[in-house]
Structures are given as C-alpha cells and as structure tokens.
Amino acid sequence: MARLMVAALAVLCGFASGQGDRGPQSGRISSAPFPGAPPAPRPIIPGSTPDSLPPECSSAFSVRKATRGSSTVRNGFATRVRFQDVLTAEGGWSPSENDFLAPCRGLYYFSFHGVAPDRGDFTLALMKNGQYQVTAYGGKGNYQQGSNSALLLLNQGDLVHLELQQGSLYEHPNNEAYVSFSGFLVKAY
C-alpha cells in the first residue's frame, strides 16, 4: 500500500511540475486549451509537411432576386444571372461581376434555386471557369421550380457563377425573392 501511495504522489508531482507523461515541457507558447495540455492536432493532408499547411481562409456568400435584365435568355444566347440583393458576402463574391472568386484552394459547397414564370420554363447552370457543372430545370406549368447543388474542388482564383441557359426566371415584383445562389468554403487545402 505504501508503494502505491508513493507512486501516486510521484505521478501527481510530475503533473504539477508540468512534466506530465511526456517529460519536461518547453517554455514555448502552444495552442493548448489549458496549460500542460498537448497542442491541438494539425490537419494531415497527403503530401504536405507541417510548414506547407494551408493558410487560414474563410468564405461564404448568399445572394437573391435576379435582376430583370438577366432573367430572360435573349436571341438564344445564355446570360449570366445578376442579383439585386447580397445577403452575405464574407470573401469571394463580387456584386459588380455577379460571380464568386475562390480566395483559396479548397472544397466549396454551392446551391441555387429558380422559379419559372407561369407557362414558362428555364434551365439554370452552375458554371466553373466557364464550364458547366450542374443544372436545374423548371418545367412549363404553374411557376415550376428547379434547384441543384454541388461540392466543387476549387483552386485559388477559380470563378463560379450562375448562367441562364434557356427560358426565363420569375421574380416577384415586390420584395419577395425566388431566385437565390449561395456558397461557402467547407475545407481549405
């Protein structure tokens, strides 16, 4: 029993002096949640080294209400959808260009929604660097809806926007908004 007490006392003294179960700790500051705790684990990315980890990056946007001039395909040419209202713009969204510029390499989630006018239809496409990714279709009928989403790996500087490929989008003449587009960074690399 005496040996057990001595062993317990030695362990407690080791923790109290900052040695814990890893021996003496250096005097450097760590990102530990409390003194003596190990630092938070760093993400492991295949092919990376501790010095090549991604920088801190965050990005999110949400826009709504397509402008009248961008809600109808004219002369058979696709048109970039432009938005009247910016709900959130935390890096990457350009209200003047109506596109998203990736601030860092990473996985980004995008979603979009549209409504067709009564007895009209539309095809709406998510575009990455001018290339089609996914589409949404709203069929002919009573204000049919179409939505889609995608998880895209983007490099810093990649551009994403919505393109109306055919038909027309419906927007309420008052404050209600039926067309929306949102995106955010899931994980930076």
pLDDT at 89 over 80: yes
Q: How confident is the model at residue 142 (pLDDT cuts 50, 70, 90)?
A: confident
Q: Read off the pLDDT of residues 33-88 as tens digits, 9 standing for 90 and up.
A: 445 555 555 555 555 555 555 558 999 999 999 888 788 887 788 999 999 999 99
Whole-number average pLDDT of the chain: 80
Q: 60-188 in CATH: which number?
A: 2.60.120.40
Locate the domains of the chain by residue range: 60-188
Q: Is the model more confident about 68 or about 123?
A: 123
Decide: residue 114, CB within 10 A, 0-12 exposed, 13-18 middle, 19+ buried: buried
* Weakest mean pLDDT among 3-12, 105-114, 167-176: 3-12
Mean pLDDT of all residues in 8-23: 40
pLDDT at 26 over 50: no
